[in-house]
Structure 1
């Protein structure tokens, strides 16, 4: 354990917790007014996010020392648990509906979002399985196809919530793991074509999904309807400047910008802290990307390589989805900003993912998985 402590990537740890602490501060700033109006205290969302951060930090530490060999062997059971949770969330007596979507399971005051858990479990499963399948990856039906059947089932279950954003994110990350595992190019081309066609079909098959795809390119055609979120995000960004209006001084969070402490928290960050706040956030993510790729290069085991890259790119793709939506460059998908957006399940399991990445960094000097 001492040897692993010496080889932990402490730069990565600092970046992860810098973004997490920054996120807690910005959740407090962006949610105080809403919490004061709808709850007994303006500290409501801040306290809950802080509690989840503490739980996430404990689980981060456990994940940093947990046996990755055992974790890999557990992956089929984790996937089975994922499918069970995704089925349970669709049962009316169990799943909770918010904003016309049934994405949460709750009992009493405890509520969690299964799709956030599934993101990590699918990365672990795909990394472990495709590392084991290295000797026969050239065989499509034996080496490539079986895990993709499970991925398709997970995709369809999440789509029923409905949550095309999370379903697409999971498919993209798992697809990237398949590509990085060494699958033949013509298999990649076939699978990629099927995946893109499938996502496109589901995106245009429902009017509300099609509206999301088209409204971000014609935002001002319906300023009080489909364009409302994005227009207020534009206002936040446009009134910021280099240093912003000061921490706590956002106007848009006062009931104008929906989801100010969740999906659109970046708009509040830019409004209050300006370009400097934006550079801090983007710089943190780019550093995590750099360290994650470097860690993957410094381990010899294929399972660890794929796991490191899967976690790293899951964080980055999710970041791109969120920032793209806030800036109007991508459709609004409801994807939270990693480490920063309000949300207990998202924060906790993103910290667990980061803990696993730190765990891998501690094994760079080892010749075997423990």
Structure 2
């Protein structure tokens, strides 16, 4: 059984993400070693942790590829309950850890765990499973659409309380794609989209902190010493990289000028050191994952499998868009990491689990294709 499953897996979908993750480890070291040496007296402080999380992620990746897909569906109610519990715990004084005016982490020994990284995949699994079961009455708003959307609203508000509008919007959009693919009426979808847009605008303008974060990207040079500082240094790094970059390890902006140079803004350092050519190669790798994810979803015959493949694929793409948009000044800075490349154990672990599930689905897709033949 397992041997047959291994034969049918899409190994290109294993190799490309693993290469990206290893490339990420190299760039984490390059982007972080000056900061790590100054603040921790150890230039390998961050890369050691990234390697450890990568090895842990490999173990979970293997399990994610082998566990029968229906198990994920059966566990989805537990995932929802666990999501809400974690989001409440992270807000409790003494449990949640505050960094940069946000309370998004829980301390686990020497590591910080960010619950929203797990919740991103938990909500995709739940929405894929619940909307697959609602196919016979998906056109009925109160029975088909409303119950899971109430749960999504609760999760959205709890994440917003951290505050983390970027991740809240990411989960909202990812789940919204599953709803769109579920066969719901267009009138219902238009109503939900309008409500979501109005809600996001309201929450953005309801807090001066959120509003400043969302609008500072438009004219960063007008407030170079304030809200525009990070973006200006990011654009400086990108501009100095040119086509082929200044060489691996040769970034100037990582020497204390660009905050979060090894996390949210690692691509700015990558472009500074490897140029637009480095960016192009990374985007090609991401586009490969996008194409393969769509192809897998089209081959699958069960609704749960299709929704899960689409949800995982587009959640990754939305996150990539958010990050690259912020780094280049095309979108607001939201603190969203770049999948597989940015420093961050929780992000790397659950991204690898997500891709593991997608690889798992590829074996089902191949099996169903063989049955048709």
Moved over 4 A (4+): none
CA distance in structure 1 between the aligned counterparts of 2:48 and 2:63, rounded to whole angstroms: 23
Q: Aligned to 1:273, what secondary structure does the other structure show?
A: helix
CA distance in structure 1 between the aligned counterparts of 2:368 and 2:14, rounded to whole angstroms: 23
Partner of 2:184: 183
TM-score with structure 2 length normalisation?
A: 0.97
CA distance in structure 2 between the aligned counterparts of 1:283 and 1:326, rounded to whole angstroms: 18
Please say if residues 57 and 353 of structure 2, whose CA atoms lie closer than 8 Å, have aligned partners that are also in contact: yes
Shift of 1:367: 5.0
Partner of 1:203: 204
CA distance in structure 2 between the aligned counterparts of 1:99 and 1:211, rounded to whole angstroms: 14
Q: Aligned to 2:97, what secondary structure does the other structure show?
A: strand
Q: Aligned to 1:331, what secondary structure does the other structure show?
A: coil
In the alignment, does 2:165 pair up with 1:160?
A: no
Partner of 1:44: 45
CA distance in structure 1 between the aligned counterparts of 2:203 and 2:127, rounded to whole angstroms: 24
CA distance in structure 1 between the aligned counterparts of 2:110 and 2:18, rounded to whole angstroms: 27
Partner of 1:215: 216
Partner of 1:150: 151
* Root mean square deviation of aligned Cα: 1.0
Q: Aligned to 1:213, what secondary structure does the other structure show?
A: helix
Shift of 1:365: 3.6
Q: Decide whether aligned partners of structure 1 residues 227 and 272 sit closer, same or farther in structure 2, where only a CA change above 3 A counts.
A: same
In the alignment, does 2:61 pair up with 1:66?
A: no
CA distance in structure 1 between the aligned counterparts of 2:10 and 2:245, rounded to whole angstroms: 33
Provide Cα deviations, 1:202-240, integer angstroms capped at 9, x if missing partner: 011111111122211111110010100000001101111
Partner of 1:93: 94
CA distance in structure 1 between the aligned counterparts of 2:108 and 2:185, rounded to whole angstroms: 46
CA distance in structure 2 between the aligned counterparts of 1:227 and 1:243, rounded to whole angstroms: 27
Partner of 1:31: 32
The answer for unaligned runs of 5 or more in structure 1 is none
Q: Aligned to 2:112, what secondary structure does the other structure show?
A: strand
Partner of 2:322: 321
CA distance in structure 2 between the aligned counterparts of 1:335 and 1:60, rounded to whole angstroms: 22
Please say if residues 323 and 336 of structure 2, whose CA atoms lie closer than 8 Å, have aligned partners that are also in contact: yes
Alignment of 1:116-265 (within 5 A): 116-265=117-266
Q: Aligned to 1:97, what secondary structure does the other structure show?
A: strand
Q: Aligned to 1:231, what secondary structure does the other structure show?
A: helix
Q: Aligned to 1:364, what secondary structure does the other structure show?
A: helix
Partner of 1:55: 56
Shift of 1:289: 0.2
CA distance in structure 2 between the aligned counterparts of 1:80 and 1:222, rounded to whole angstroms: 43
TM-score with structure 1 length normalisation?
A: 0.98
CA distance in structure 2 between the aligned counterparts of 1:215 and 1:40, rounded to whole angstroms: 34
Aligned length: 368
Please say if residues 138 and 145 of structure 2, whose CA atoms lie closer than 8 Å, have aligned partners that are also in contact: yes
CA distance in structure 1 between the aligned counterparts of 2:31 and 2:333, rounded to whole angstroms: 19
CA distance in structure 2 between the aligned counterparts of 1:86 and 1:39, rounded to whole angstroms: 30
